[in-house]
């Protein structure tokens, strides 16, 4: 296939009329994600500080679904051939970023947990040895 | 006599804390003082101990709200009946502590907020924070809570409030108008007393970068979630 034909094919794929069903599913997904996040916050299953990233994703999906030209612009920018591959690429990118973010949080929490356990152990040891030395343990 | 406690959450406040503790010792007689050091990297808790006050040190930074809650739990365990919380940066004046406590001691209110705006004032808030104050004041009014200074951390609280605030839902970061509205909803009697405040040092991370935007977002979400939850049981 010549370069000319490839360029025409890419142009055709990029400008193919959007499927109404796909668009509806994407809008439904983003709305369901927003509702799920709000429901989890309301039920105290998700703390407010963890919501911006999920609401951000839901709003981004909603925005590119409603405004498909935006998705096409991004597709051209990153050199992809179809808007759907752009969605997959961005989705994977998001998953990598969020996994990294949670890995950082987990690392911080494991350090904090260790400090906390050590503090408790030291406090307990201090109380027990203090009681023993002063003879209160036998009292 | 009512057991009273001044609660000072502090994070890296070695520069301001000595002055605050001296003014508290001078102006607020009859109060025990507790400094909750939120995992400072400086000498905050040592300064507290050297000034003869009780200090609790978090092993790492947990946030302003978590520091307050540590103090509330301490107060509950030690039979404290009245807590006055004030910032360690010197913004709140110990001279106002007695007036702040009066409505609680007379059992007219459960929670008293020291307000900068109850009376005409020259206090400068800046455009963004001023807008935030108007927005959250308006939201509070919508829910039936009339307060002029919804972001003031200078407050006096009785045990009823301490019990409510010791729950799991109390935020670790910034407990402001969202917790006030939750308290209002739980039947806590809230009012204000006019106080003067000094300008806060501009070192607070709350006022830098994207934090103000996140603050507004988080407050709105938290207020909405509180309003949507079932009515809490009222503590008589």
In a domain, A41, yes or no: yes
Average pLDDT for chain B: 91
Taking alpha carbons only, the member of B103, B100, B82 closest to residue B161 is B82
Residue A136, pLDDT score: 47
Tokens 């105290």 identify what position?
Answer: A44
Quick: pLDDT tens for B171-194: 999 899 999 999 999 999 999 999
Q: Which of A56-60, B7-11, B26-30, B201-205 has the highest mean pLDDT?
A: B7-11
Per-residue pLDDT tens for B98-138?
999 999 999 999 999 999 988 877 766 677 777 888 899 99
The alpha-carbon gap from B6 to the nearest alpha carbon of chain A, in Å, equals: 25
Does residue B149 fall inside a structural domain?
A: yes
ipTM tops the 0.90 cut: no
A108 occurs within a structural domain: no
Q: Is residue B233 part of a domain?
A: no
For residue B169, give the nearest of A44, A115, A119 by CB distance. Answer: A44
Task: Flag whether A107 is in a domain.
Answer: no
Domain assignment present for B160: yes
B225/A38 Cβ within 8 A:
yes
Cβ contact (<8 Å) for B59 and A119?
A: yes
Sequential DSSP letters for B39-59: S-SSSHHHHHHHTT-EEEE-S
Secondary structure class of B112 (helix, strand, coil): strand
pLDDT of residue A11: 79
User: Does the pLDDT of residue A139 top 50, yes or no?
Assistant: no
Chain B environment of A38 (Cβ under 8 Å): 224-225
Residue B140 within any structural domain of the chain: yes
List the single range of A49-53, A107-111, B10-14, B231-235 with lowest mean pLDDT: B231-235
Number of Cβ pairs closer than 8 Å across A and B?
Answer: 25
Q: Which domain holds residue A93?
A: 3-99
- Could you give the angle at the alpha carbon of B83 between the alpha carbons of B91 and B138, nearest 5°? 60
Q: Is B92 helix (H, G, I), strand (E, B) or coil?
A: strand
Q: Which of B221, B226, B228, B232 to mutate to test the interface with A (most CBs of A within 10 A)?
A: B221
B59–A51: do the CB atoms touch at under 8 Å?
no
A20 inside domain:
yes
CATH classification of the domain holding B161: 3.90.550.10
Q: Which of A42, A49, A112 sits opposite B218 (nearest CB)?
A: A49
Q: Is residue A35 part of a domain?
A: yes
CB B101 within 8 A of CB B4: yes
> A28 vs chain B: nearest CA distance in angstroms?
22
Q: Does A115 contact B214 at a Cβ distance shorter than 8 Å?
A: no
Q: CB of B6 within 8 A of CB of B34? A: yes
The three-state secondary structure class of B194 is strand
- The pLDDT assigned to A138 comes to 43
If one counts the domains in chain B, the total is 1
Q: Is residue A86 situated within a structural domain?
A: yes
3-state secondary structure of B8: strand
Q: Which domain holds residue B97?
A: 4-228
Query: How many domains does chain A divide into?
Result: 1
CB contact under 8 A, A51 and B171: no
Tell if the CB–CB gap between A38 and B173 is shorter than 8 Å.
Answer: no
- Residue A131 confidence (pLDDT): 64
**Neighbour-count burial of B73, counting CB atoms closer than 10 A to its CB (0-12 exposed, 13-18 middle, 19+ buried):** middle
Structural tokens at position A43: 């039920």
Model confidence band, residue B201 (pLDDT cutoffs 50, 70, 90)? low
- Maximum Cα–Cα distance across chain B: 47
A111 within some domain: no
Interface test with B, best of A40, A48, A121 (most B CBs within 10 A): A48
């Amino acid at each position: 296939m010549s370069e000319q034909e490839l360029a025409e094919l890419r142009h055709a794929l990029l400008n193919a009329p959007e499927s109404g069903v796909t668009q509806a599913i994407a809008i439904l997904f983003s709305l369901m994600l927003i509702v799920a996040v709000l429901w989890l916050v309301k039920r105290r299953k998700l703390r407010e500080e963890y919501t911006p990233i999920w609401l951000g994703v839901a709003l981004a999906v909603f925005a590119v679904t409603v405004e498909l030209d935006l998705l096409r612009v991004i597709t051209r920018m990153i050199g992809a051939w179809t808007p759907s591959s752009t969605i997959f690429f961005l989705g994977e990118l998001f998953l990598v970023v969020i996994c990294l973010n949670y890995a950082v949080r987990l690392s911080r929490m494991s350090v904090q947990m260790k400090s906390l356990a050590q503090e408790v152990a030291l406090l307990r040891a201090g109380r027990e040895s203090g009681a023993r030395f002063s003879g209160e343990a036998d009292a | 006599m009512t057991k009273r406690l001044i609660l000072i959450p502090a994070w890296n406040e070695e520069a301001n804390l000595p002055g605050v503790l001296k003014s508290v010792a001078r102006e607020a007689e009859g109060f025990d003082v507790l400094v909750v050091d939120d995992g400072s990297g400086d000498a905050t808790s040592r300064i507290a101990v050297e000034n003869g006050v009780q200090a609790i040190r978090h092993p790492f930074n947990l946030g302003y709200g978590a520091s307050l809650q540590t103090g509330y739990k301490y107060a509950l365990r030690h039979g404290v009946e009245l807590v006055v919380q004030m910032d360690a940066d010197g913004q709140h004046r110990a001279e106002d502590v007695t007036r702040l406590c009066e409505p609680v001691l007379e059992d007219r209110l459960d929670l008293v907020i020291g307000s900068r705006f109850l009376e005409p004032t020259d206090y400068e808030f800046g455009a963004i924070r001023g807008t935030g104050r108007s927005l959250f004041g308006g939201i509070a009014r919508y829910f039936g809570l009339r307060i002029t200074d919804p972001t003031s951390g200078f407050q006096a609280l009785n045990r009823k409030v301490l019990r409510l605030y010791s729950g799991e839902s109390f935020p670790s970061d910034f407990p402001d108008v969202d917790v006030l509205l939750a308290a209002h909803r739980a039947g806590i009697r809230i009012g204000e007393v006019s106080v003067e405040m000094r300008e806060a040092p501009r070192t607070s991370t709350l006022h830098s970068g994207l934090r103000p935007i996140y603050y507004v977002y988080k407050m709105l979400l938290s207020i909405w979630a509180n309003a949507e939850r079932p009515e809490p049981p009222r503590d008589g």
